[in-house]
Structure 1
Amino acid sequence: MWLESGHPQHRRSPTQETPASVTFGKQTVVIGDCLAGLPLLAEKSIDVCVTSPPYNIGVAYKTHHDRMPKEDYLAWMGKVARQLARVLRDDGSLFLNVGQTNVDPWIAYEVANQFRDVFVLQNNISWVKSISLGDDTFGHFKPITSKRFLNNNFESLFHFTKTGHVQIDRLSIGVPFKDKTNIERWGHTRDLRCAGNVWFIPYKTVQSKIDKFDHPAGYPVDLPKRCMLLHGRPEATVLDPFLGAGTTLVAAEQLGMSGIGFEIDPSYAETAMARLNAETKAGR
């Protein structure tokens, strides 16, 4: 069971059932509500969490209703935040991806504010999905028809830690110097510099929902991989409480890290398991 593999069991009441789980390679998919499963994880057992909760902006999930009353939704996020603070190590990192709409442009920041009581915002990252340079456009976005609003081409990625002083490996996701004279002039030991807090990570071009793993709000695998590399712990234990189609654990498996993900929708959990099964077979 997933609780017995690096996650010591907590005491439970006789009526509390352990969520169903399946393991592929170093990854465990738990089918169930994260608020039911997270209390069963050991305190300070997670190195890095990468997740993207429902945004409450009307995304068409299969079972989750993405139009909760805002007070209820934010209270839910607050409960998740407190559980994540309990299971995260003192030097751990939480990367929280939240989007927004023009109708509710504050929602990403209101969600982030629910984490403020138990976390410190160490880095505020913009995930750019599409950008126009001159007369050319790179990446993909969902166009909107409006006489008031611009297209939404980015999402927020909040890097939370418990203290704000957690060291990260900036050069693990670094880029080469444009001006090579800066290497020697500033005493650098290699041709890499910090890439900054604006990340251009476009989706791959797809032709159908199946190519997006039939999930309406997934992110590219390079996004969680970049977060895990930035955290800088090669043997990290990874957590995603809102696993969806499994992208976070696919990234963890590709990097050789152990991971656990919770997904309440059995259909999305099956997709995640199918992806991980294929990933582990390909890696053999």
Structure 2
Amino acid sequence: MTAIARTEQHLDLSGHHRLIQGDAFAELDDLAEGSFSLVITSPPYNIGKEYERDQRLSLDEYLRWLEPIVEKVCEKVKADGHICWQVGNYVAGGQVYPLDYYFYEMLKKQGFKLRNRIIWHFNFGLHALRRFSGRYETLLWFSKSDDYYFNLEPVLIPQLYPGKRHSSKKGDKAGSPSGNPKGKNPSDFWTFDANEAFFDMPIWDLPNVKANHPEKTIHPCSFPSELVERCVLALTKPGDVVLDPFVGAGTTVIAAAKNNRIGVGIDKSGQYIEVARQRLSDLELGELVTRPMGAPVRRPRSGERVSTIPEEWLSK
């Protein structure tokens, strides 16, 4: 059964968070420059999702559309703030174009500095026939300056080898425990399971929002709340303001609200904004269902129907 979590207390969210219906390029003009500690978003990938079908663009057209939005977004970030830009791949004519490559160049051009390139791995998606099926996306974490806020404490994970000690030849530390008793830096490989080891590989392993995922809405391409929450917890302080210029079903604003930050989201779809408002209301009432941080990714058990080889395959 998929793990879920409900807000245990009612939250007073009135007068704080903003959900704005409109075009990101235009609406960003009404937001104060240097006012956001974190911008985290997943822009449209131009791959034919329902919200893209009226404007399927060539790769060059797509990049020309987003570059001025990126420029405006950069102006809204505080001096010690961050941008987390999460994207997949653009596919055309059987060729794959890694979108993070293009957005890296855009954000570098604005003076931002890449701190991590994180790989988000998931198990389910479209199956390819003439290439290996895509099962990852990337999240680029940029800071605006070298003087940026970063707090590991909320995202530390248990030490893999808590009994490990310094060498007997390490001077004052000889023989003493070598790790931090509070936990270990998860580096850029996150399984979102506090009971498993975190290895030095740039992969975050958590399920995407499909089918029976508790956060599934009418939006076809939401990113999971725990991906956003990890960034919110590590890169912002309580009371900070977080922006998502392509907020969709409201995941970023909800992640901000759950963790005592203020969320601002923009989306051109009135339908998605209404879904986001309802989810925010459900959060306030303690009724919003989400997948809790740290829950292991569910694997089918031996003997379950979905893990049993069909009889039709046995004869092949």
TM-score by length of 2: 0.72
1:55 is aligned to 2:48? no
1:45 is aligned to 2:35? yes
1:67 is aligned to 2:49? no
1:220 is aligned to 2:203? no
* Alpha-carbon contact 1:77-1:114 (below 8 Å) kept: no
1:193 is aligned to 2:184? yes
Q: Distance in 2 between matches of 1:203 and 1:68?
A: 25
Tell me the CA shift for residue 59 of structure 1. 2.1
Q: Deviations over 1:6-42 (max 9, x none)?
A: xxxxxxxxxxxxxxxxx85632100111111111111
Counterparts in 2 of 1:203 and 1:145: CA distance versus 1, 3 Å = closer
1:76 is aligned to 2:92? no
Name the Cα RMSD after superposition.
Answer: 2.4
| Higher mean C-alpha deviation, range 76-85 or range 274-283 | 274-283
Q: Distance in 2 between matches of 1:232 and 1:277?
A: 23
Q: Distance in 1 between matches of 2:82 and 2:232?
A: 9
Question: What letter matches 1:76 in structure 2?
Answer: W
1:259 is aligned to 2:263? yes
Q: What's the counterpart of residue 85 of structure 2?
A: 96
Tell me the CA shift for residue 204 of structure 1. 5.9
Tell me the CA shift for residue 122 of structure 1. 1.6
* Alpha-carbon contact 2:41-2:85 (below 8 Å) kept: yes
- Gapped runs of 5+ residues in structure 1? 1-22, 130-139
Q: Distance in 1 between matches of 2:208 and 2:61?
A: 31
TM-score by length of 1: 0.79
Q: Deviations over 1:94-125 (max 9, x none)?
A: 11100115632323311332222112212111
Q: Deviations over 1:79-104 (max 9, x none)?
A: 11111111100100111100115632
Tell me the CA shift for residue 199 of structure 1. 1.6
Tell me the CA shift for residue 167 of structure 1. 3.9
Tell me the CA shift for residue 231 of structure 1. 0.3
Which residue among 133, 151, 155 is the counterpart of 1:151?
Answer: 133
Counterparts in 2 of 1:64 and 1:278: CA distance versus 1, 3 Å = farther
* Alpha-carbon contact 1:29-1:273 (below 8 Å) kept: yes
- Gapped runs of 5+ residues in structure 2? 1-12, 166-175, 189-202, 288-316
Q: What's the counterpart of residue 247 of structure 2?
A: 243
Q: What's the counterpart of residue 307 of structure 2?
A: none
Q: Distance in 2 between matches of 1:166 and 1:158?
A: 16
Bigger-Rg structure (1/2)? 2
Question: What letter matches 1:54 in structure 2?
Answer: P
Q: Distance in 1 between matches of 2:30 and 2:99?
A: 29
Which residue among 5, 10, 22 is the counterpart of 1:32?
Answer: 22
1:206 is aligned to 2:188? no
* Alpha-carbon contact 2:215-2:224 (below 8 Å) kept: no
Provide the aligned length of Structure 1 versus Structure 2.
Answer: 248
Q: Distance in 1 between matches of 2:245 and 2:272?
A: 13
